[in-house]
Amino acid sequence: DDAESWKHHGEKVPVADRIWFAALGPDTPALGEIKTEQQIYQNQIASTIASLLGMDFKTDKKVGDIISSVTKK
C-alpha cells in the first residue's frame, strides 16, 4: 500500500530519492509548474535561498550551485 509505505521509504521504494521544491516571491519568475531534464539536488536549496536573500551560503559540507531558474541568475 503506497499510502503506508511512504512513511518508511528508502531505496526499496521507487523514486524515494526525489524531492520537490517550490519558490514564490517578487524576485522569482512566475513559471508555474515546470519539468526539465535538469537534475537539481537538495544541496542547492540553501544556496538558492541565501541568494534570494542577498546572502552567500557557506558551510564545511559540499554546497550545490544556485538554482538559476529560481533566482534569474
Contact yes or no for 57/45 (Cβ under 8 A): no
Q: What is the DSSP letter of 66?
A: P
- Buried residues in 48-58 as b, exposed as e (16+ CB within 10 A): bbbbbeeeebe
Whole-model pTM above 0.75? no
Backbone φ and ψ for 7, nearest 5 degrees, come out as -70, -20
Which pLDDT score, from 0 to 100, does residue 22 have?
Answer: 83
Which pLDDT score, from 0 to 100, does residue 3 have?
Answer: 63
- Kindly give the confidence (pLDDT) of every residue in the chain, 73 residues in length, as a single tens digit, with 9 standing for 90 and above: 566 656 666 777 777 777 778 888 787 778 888 877 778 888 999 999 999 889 999 999 989 999 887 876 5
Which pLDDT score, from 0 to 100, does residue 18 have?
Answer: 76
